[in-house]
Structure 1
Amino acid sequence: MSLRIATFNVENLMTRFDFTGFRNQLRQDRVIKLFEVRSEGVYQQLEQARVIASTDDTRQMTALAIADADADILCLQEIDNMEALQAFEYGYLFRMVGTGYRQKYLVEGNDSRGIDVAVLMREETRDGQKIELKEIKSHAMTTYRDLGLFDENLAATSHIDDKIFKRDCLELDLLVGGLPMTLYVVHFKSMGSPRDGLDGRRYTMPVRRAEARAVRRIIEDRFGAGHTAGKRFVICGDMNDYQERVDVIGARRAGYTFDHQVESESALDVFSHDGFSENVVRRRDPLDRWTLYHARGPEEQWLCQLDYIWLSPALAKANAGRLPEIVRNGQPYRTVFPPGQEVERYPRTGWDRPKASDHCPVVMTLDLI
């Protein structure tokens, strides 16, 4: 019996317009900056037109990427609310996959912009095995004090009674063909901008490390510390950190070289350092593990993995011969692909936008035994 599971940050599936760019230039879209707009009313009209015009292409590509992942269970990040998810599923995804995802789950979390994690599930796997939700639990209200995770590294940016998860850790107890499996869906703290002499990743790493420690603690409290290896659990989501990256060196005209770098420190070491779980994407070639292209001009560009499927030791062992897939057809043309990885882009893909998302879906077929 097999189950196909995927994770995908769909990038701002929103139902709201953001008009703050009229007064805050940092939040104003670059195309609006090409024009002199003195009236806030005119600005709002232009912004509405811009968003509506671009969103249709974007969401068609998002739906195509999800259709290509072809998962039985789909873990999503950056969903505005259930209404947005239902509108997208009915208006776009249904046209690609039909009435596939009848089970939809979302709990409002902590993000200041209102973006949440969500799960879409088929009623049955491709093998015809029933997928049942037994229980769903949000951990959005859990604080550092609750789990005893506050330390001096957090003191510079947080308080002991702050909520650990900047969005949520959504816990779903499932039965798949009668077999139990527990799914954890997360979206960790973003890296942000440099501060206090540190780059954004280093500055925010204590928060992400605490989130990872909290996920592990939740699992260990659930199954018993030292007794998790034989359980079926999966941790999915955008974790906004990486343990390695591929530096992209060069420019379009001169050509590119690719340099694989292993990071000395990552918040995700919490999951991997002692075999607690396996990042199955690391089964792929080192240059072929990326799910996001980062660039701030030719001097700063790299490929890295931000999107993860972590398997419990039992599931990893049962699926030792399987490889995860990464759907990159929705990436914009500015993304630099290492040799041999080029894909056919979706129709109407742009240089920078429209695109399916800045992230790529990660999907894997699991044998449940």
Structure 2
Amino acid sequence: MRLASYNVENLFDRARAMNLKSLSQGKPILERFAELNALLAQPSYSAADKTRMAKLVIELDLEKSDVGDFVILRRNRGGLIKRPKSGGVQIVASGRADWVGSLELRDEPVDEQAMRNTARVMRDVEADVLGVVEVESRPVLRDFNADVVAAFGGEAFRHAMVIDGNDTRGIDVGLLTRQGFPIGALRSHVDEMLTERDPIFSRDCAEFEVTAPSGARMLLMLNHFKSKGFGSQQSSNAKRRAQAKRVAEIYDERVAMGIKNIVVMGDFNDTPDSEPLSPLIEGTDLKDIFLHPKFDDGGFPGTYGSCAADNKIDFILLSPALFDKVTSGGVFRKGMWPGARAKRWEAYPEVARKEDAASDHAAIWVDIDL
């Protein structure tokens, strides 16, 4: 069987702030959105909270309207803000119970050529079991699989599953499997908390049980850890470490239950030698497929961007029982932008511009004799 992991960076729609040409443009918008959302969720608003909230509302282009370029403020009932004719914003609610509504990011369609190239990657990697990262929802994954992948000559996957996670941007983790690889028991960890209002997992550590045609069962744990792009380095590192530590604990719990065939995979947003990932990489007996003698990295050690060693952030970690059954593995980069001049790897002819890339991530795969 072939197992693969791929960060698709959304299939049909993506938050407009995440579609900007550079991270430096989108980062402040997403950080203000997250801060305002956290403040709005509080049971009561202090005077300092109201001052800060009003400032954030203006900075998010919501001073004159509930619809900004990147954010929408939905107010269904109750009073939250007033907009005086003289300008500015006043927060009139005393707490979350005073109003009903939400703060949402505005979406826009993914570039059409990029969408087609994503379908090509999902077709050409030829996985029996494909873990996907940054997918909008199960209906989106189902429709993309049935309509777009099939339109490019790919065989549609038989099963598609996504458990809605904690991220408000619509970037969840999900699973596609072929006929003969049914998805069995599911388990979510979205509501495990670091503090009362801070979940451990930015998205989820979703567990899926998959049965191979041979009858052998395999437990897959899909993850998308906290990125380095938003928040301080210290807080981001601490979050990723907490996530890695909890995944390691869950892995150990499953091993203690007698489960031998376990996969932990996804986008961990850090490198194998990083301190935040050490509880998972160094603290368990899981083995990185990049270290298998039959794995071919295609001449580049990384999986993201330029694919340098410091961009090795996508993982398939296998329990010893599965690692011993590996027959081959590799990195599929044809959907990535290879560079404008000295092209680093072979890409699809349709990747004519950086914007045409299916994703900034490569798909990684491994063949297992299961």
Q: TM-score, normalised by structure 1?
A: 0.69
**Contact in 2 for aligned 1:293/1:335 (Cα 8 Å):** no
Bigger drift between 352-361 and 281-290 goes to: 281-290
Paired with 1:360 and 1:20, the residues of 2 have a C-alpha distance of: 19
Corresponding position of 1:354: 356
**CA gap 1:223/1:84 in 2 versus in 1, 3 angstroms:** same
**CA gap 1:336/1:291 in 2 versus in 1, 3 angstroms:** farther
- Measure how far apart 1:134 and its partner are: 2.3
2:316 maps to 1:318? no
- Measure how far apart 1:86 and its partner are: 2.4
State the 4+ residue runs in structure 1 displaced beyond 4 angstroms. Answer: 19-22, 39-44, 284-287, 335-338
- Measure how far apart 1:268 and its partner are: 2.3
Corresponding position of 1:13: 11
SS at match of 2:152: helix
- Measure how far apart 1:274 and its partner are: 4.9
**Contact in 2 for aligned 1:7/1:361 (Cα 8 Å):** yes
Corresponding position of 2:286: 277
1:208 to 215, 218, 240: 240
Corresponding position of 2:268: 239
In structure 2, give the amino acid aligned to 1:232: N
Paired with 1:278 and 1:337, the residues of 2 have a C-alpha distance of: 33
**CA gap 1:7/1:337 in 2 versus in 1, 3 angstroms:** farther
SS at match of 1:189: coil
Paired with 1:330 and 1:266, the residues of 2 have a C-alpha distance of: 30
In structure 2, give the amino acid aligned to 1:288: F
Paired with 2:19 and 2:2, the residues of 1 have a C-alpha distance of: 41
- Measure how far apart 1:113 and its partner are: 0.9
- Measure how far apart 1:208 and its partner are: 0.9
SS at match of 1:314: helix
Mapping 1:71-110, distance limit 5 Å: 71-110=127-166
- Measure how far apart 1:218 and its partner are: 1.2
Corresponding position of 1:62: 118
Mapping 1:287-326, distance limit 5 Å: 288-293=300-305, 304-319=311-326, 322-326=327-331
- Measure how far apart 1:336 and its partner are: 8.6
**CA gap 1:182/1:336 in 2 versus in 1, 3 angstroms:** farther
- Measure how far apart 1:193 and its partner are: 4.7
Pairwise CA RMSD: 3.4
**Contact in 2 for aligned 1:275/1:313 (Cα 8 Å):** no
Deviations for 1:86-111, whole angstroms, at most 9, x for unmatched residues? 23223311123544302010111001
**Contact in 1 for aligned 2:304/2:360 (Cα 8 Å):** yes
2:333 to 322, 328, 336: 328
**CA gap 1:220/1:85 in 2 versus in 1, 3 angstroms:** same
**Contact in 2 for aligned 1:117/1:167 (Cα 8 Å):** yes
Unaligned runs of 5+ in 1: 29-38, 45-49, 125-130, 145-158, 244-262, 296-300
SS at match of 1:205: helix
**Contact in 2 for aligned 1:9/1:238 (Cα 8 Å):** yes
1:168 to 191, 199, 204: 204
SS at match of 1:221: helix
Paired with 1:60 and 1:180, the residues of 2 have a C-alpha distance of: 33
- Measure how far apart 1:21 and its partner are: 9.8
In structure 2, give the amino acid aligned to 1:289: P
Deviations for 1:99-127, whole angstroms, at most 9, x for unmatched residues? 43020101110013121101010012xxx
How many residues matched?
Answer: 290
Paired with 2:246 and 2:182, the residues of 1 have a C-alpha distance of: 26
Paired with 1:20 and 1:8, the residues of 2 have a C-alpha distance of: 18
**CA gap 1:275/1:135 in 2 versus in 1, 3 angstroms:** closer
SS at match of 2:356: coil
